[in-house]
Every structure is written in C-alpha cells, then in structure tokens.
Amino acid sequence: MNNHFSLLARILLFIAIATTTVCAQDAMFTLGSVTAKRGERVAGHLEIPAGVDEGTRLPFTIFHGAKPGPTLLLVAGVHGSEYAPIIALQRLLSQLNASKLSGTVILVHSANPPSFFKRTIYYSPVDGKNLNRSFPGKADGTLTERIAHTILTQLIPRADYVIDVHCGDGNEDLIPYLALYTHATTPERIAHVKDLALRFGIEHIKVISGRSADPNNSVYLTNAAQLAGKYVMAVECGGLARADEVSVTTITTGLQNVMRRLRMLPGQTTPIKNPVYVDRDETIRTPEAGIFYPLVARGQIVKKDALLGYVTNLHGQKVHEARAPFAGKVMFIVKTPPVSAGEPLVSIGSLQP
Ligand SMILES: [Zn+2]
C-alpha cells in the first residue's frame, strides 16, 4: 500500500511538474474567442450575455510575451468614473511590446462598461450595485453580479498576479496609495507583494488584514483574487473624474516597475526610500442626504475629533458633522456637493509609527 501510494504520489508529482512546465511555455494564450501566439498582441471581449437584465462585454488586450514568464492581470474601470486607471491602461497599449515581454499581460480596459458610458460613480446604472462589493457574483444574477462572476471565473484563474487599479471616484479627491492583503496567505507571499509595492513608486502603502476569508463572501475583486491564491495588489491613484498626467504616468510607470521586478520586462527598479504604512483606516459616512462642505484637504494630517467637514440639508441647516475617529492622514475626501445617505464623506488612515 505504501509502495503503491509512493508510486502514485511520484506519478502525480511528475504530472504536476510536467503540466506546470507546459503551461509556463504555452505557445498560445486563449481568452474568450481570441488566441495570442507568443510575441503577439490581440484584442477581444468577454461576453456577458443578457440575463435578468441587459448584457455587456468587457474589452481586453492580451500581450503574450515572446518568452515564458508569469501572467499579470491588470483591471481598470471596476468603478466606471475612475478615469486615471482606464487612461493609464490605454497608454500601456503603446508602451508594451509583446516581442520584448516575458510572460503574459492581460489588460481589462473597462470592467464595468455600463458605469463608464453612463458616467456613474460607485453604482451600476443597470442594477444599482457596486461591482467592488459584489464578489463572488452570480452566474444568473443581475448584470453587476454576472460581471463579478465572469471576472472571478474567466480572468482571475488565468493570472499569477492580479492588480486592480482604482482611484478616487468621480467625487473623491485622494492621495495615491497601494493596498496589500495579509490574510489567507503566507509571510513569504506577503513579503513578495510588499517588495513589488515598494518598487511601484507610490509611498503610501495600506496593509489590510481584516477581509473575509470566505470565498462565498469575498465582496471585493482583490479579496476574491487573494482567496483564489493569487498575488494581489490594489492601486489607488487619481480621482475627481480626471485623467491628470501625473496620476496616469504614476500608474503606467508603477505597473511597468512591477513587470521589471518580475523580470517580465528588462531593466532595474529601486524601492521607494521612505514608505509610509497605513495600518488602519476608517471611512466616515453621512447618515443623511444633503450638501457636503469639506474643511480639510487630501493628505492633511488631522487630530482625533478634528472637524473634517459637515453636511447640510437643502434648506441650509447643518445635519451632520464629520469628525476624525483617530489621529491620522486624510486618504480621500469628497469634493463635490451632493451626498446621499450612507455614502462616504472622508477617509482617515492611521500611519504606522
Ligand atoms: Zn474604485
């Protein structure tokens, strides 16, 4: 029995190594209905057919490198009015070259086309749901749930590394930061992602530990990828419905730095000199709809209980004051007047000493 088991184990190990080797050297990379050969760039769509509501399709580009290497999935536009990441991925189209790449890069240009084309913040115009609160999604759910399900079942499994690129939404002014996740993983894997984050070029790094470890309640795209065993990072850079040059360049440079560090691109990277770690953050929400008057700026250091802004009703009466729950830095703050009950006003990050 032992001998048989050991023989079986050896055969399984051989198959595992052989499969990995074959996968790593796959001449072809197929996604949806398109296939890229080594050294080739192809474009396609992932179709999400109509179900209980209308359908959509997710536009993507694959750069299938001339040489083998890891597969990196880059997602933009989970929130449709977050333009800096979407424009950054457009710019990567002319900056990447499959013939010089090792490994494979999948760019998802707009993970939420209905939100992009209807210019909505937070929520889909089709079903009113927030895609980045809808994972793992449902094959037979509403459109946002079907998009989440498609990302989870058709995109994330193809990748070794997943980077979900966000910014402040169309109403939010935000300081750039990266997020990495310390649950459902190992110290070695955390160290690897942290090393990549330090090479990105953004000094604030948020370390998130409290996410659900239940794949049936993963909620966020990054968490769904983390629980699927991928190396995961979130980027937040830009905001206020702008695609400003500094934010776009920070994102394109950072993503290519990650590729360099992973030896997918030639060239060296240097870690950022003075990283600032954010180990806790809290978003203050408004209990009532109205007009928000911000009193602090993004990046500002505030004391505990500092008045960060206030909400009035449309008759001009103050209905809510936003105060800092603890001393820290303003990570983002709403900078356009309308706010609805339950929505974010401002987020404070606590800096590691
Ligand atoms: Zn977002």
222 CA → ligand 1 middle, Å = 11
pLDDT classification of 25: cutoffs 50, 70, 90: low
67 CA → ligand 1 middle, Å = 33
168 CA → ligand 1 middle, Å = 6
pLDDT at position 163 over 70: yes
pLDDT classification of 26: cutoffs 50, 70, 90: confident
15 CA → ligand 1 middle, Å = 41
CATH architecture of the domain formed by 277-351: Beta Barrel (2.40)
Give start-end residues of each CATH 2.40.50.100 domain in the chain.
Answer: 277-351
pLDDT at 331: 98
Q: Specify the residue for token string 């997918």.
A: 264
Bridge partners (DSSP) of residue 321 are 310
Cα angle vertex 236, ends 232, 240, to 5°?
155
pLDDT at position 191 over 80: yes
How large is the average pLDDT for residues 119-131? 98
pLDDT at 256: 98
- Give the tens place of pLDDT for each residue, 283-312: 999 999 999 999 999 999 999 999 999 999
- Give the tens place of pLDDT for each residue, 236-266: 999 999 999 999 999 999 999 999 999 999 9
Single out the residue of 134, 214, 204 nearest to residue 176, CA to CA.
Answer: 204
328 CA → ligand 1 middle, Å = 22
pLDDT at 353: 82
Could you give phi then psi for residue 60, rounded to 5 degrees? Answer: -140, 160
pLDDT at position 19 over 50: no
pTM value is: 0.92
Single out the residue of 30, 254, 263 nearest to residue 155, CA to CA.
Answer: 30
The interaxial angle of helices 245-261 and 187-200, nearest 10 deg, is: 140
18 CA → ligand 1 middle, Å = 39
56 CA → ligand 1 middle, Å = 19
Enter the DSSP assignment of 157. Answer: G
Residue 8 amino acid letter: L
How large is the average pLDDT for residues 39-65? 98
Q: Specify the residue for token string 């911000």.
A: 294
121 CA → ligand 1 middle, Å = 9
- Give me the CATH code for the 31-261 domain, please: 3.40.630.10
pLDDT at position 351 over 80: yes
pLDDT at position 17 over 50: no
Torsion, Cα 51 53 54 56, to 10 degrees, reads -70
Helices (H), the chain: 2-24, 83-95, 113-118, 143-150, 187-200, 221-227, 245-261
123 CA → ligand 1 middle, Å = 10
9 CA → ligand 1 middle, Å = 45
Mean pLDDT of all residues belonging to the chain: 94
Give start-end residues of each CATH 3.40.630.10 domain in the chain.
Answer: 31-261
Any idea how long the chain is? 353
Q: Which two tokens stand for residue 155?
A: 């995109």
95 CA → ligand 1 middle, Å = 24
Which contiguous run of DSSP H or E holds residue 340?
A: none
CB 74 within 8 A of CB 255: yes
pLDDT classification of 16: cutoffs 50, 70, 90: very low
Could you give phi then psi for residue 228, rounded to 5 degrees? Answer: -85, 5
pLDDT at position 22 over 50: no
Q: What is 137-194 written as a DSSP string? A: --TTS-HHHHHHHHIIIIIGGG-SEEEEEE---TTEEE--EEEEE-SSS-HHHHHHHH
98 CA → ligand 1 middle, Å = 28
- Give the tens place of pLDDT for each residue, 64-98: 999 999 999 999 999 999 999 999 999 999 999 99
8 CA → ligand 1 middle, Å = 47
How large is the average pLDDT for residues 187-193? 98
156 CA → ligand 1 middle, Å = 18
Burial of 249 (0-12, 13-18, 19+ CB in 10 A): middle
Q: Which two tokens stand for residue 266?
A: 């030639």
Burial of 30 (0-12, 13-18, 19+ CB in 10 A): middle
167 CA → ligand 1 middle, Å = 6
113 CA → ligand 1 middle, Å = 14
pLDDT at position 320 over 70: yes
Single out the residue of 124, 145, 125, 223 nearest to residue 181, CA to CA.
Answer: 223
303 CA → ligand 1 middle, Å = 27
Torsion, Cα 250 198 215 344, to 10 degrees, reads -50
pLDDT at position 5 over 50: no
323 CA → ligand 1 middle, Å = 23
Q: How far is CA 330 from CA 60, 201, 281, 351, in A?
A: 34, 20, 10, 11
220 CA → ligand 1 middle, Å = 10
Could you give phi then psi for residue 50, rounded to 5 degrees? Answer: -60, 145
pLDDT classification of 210: cutoffs 50, 70, 90: confident
Number of other CB atoms surrounding residue 279 within 10 Å: 14
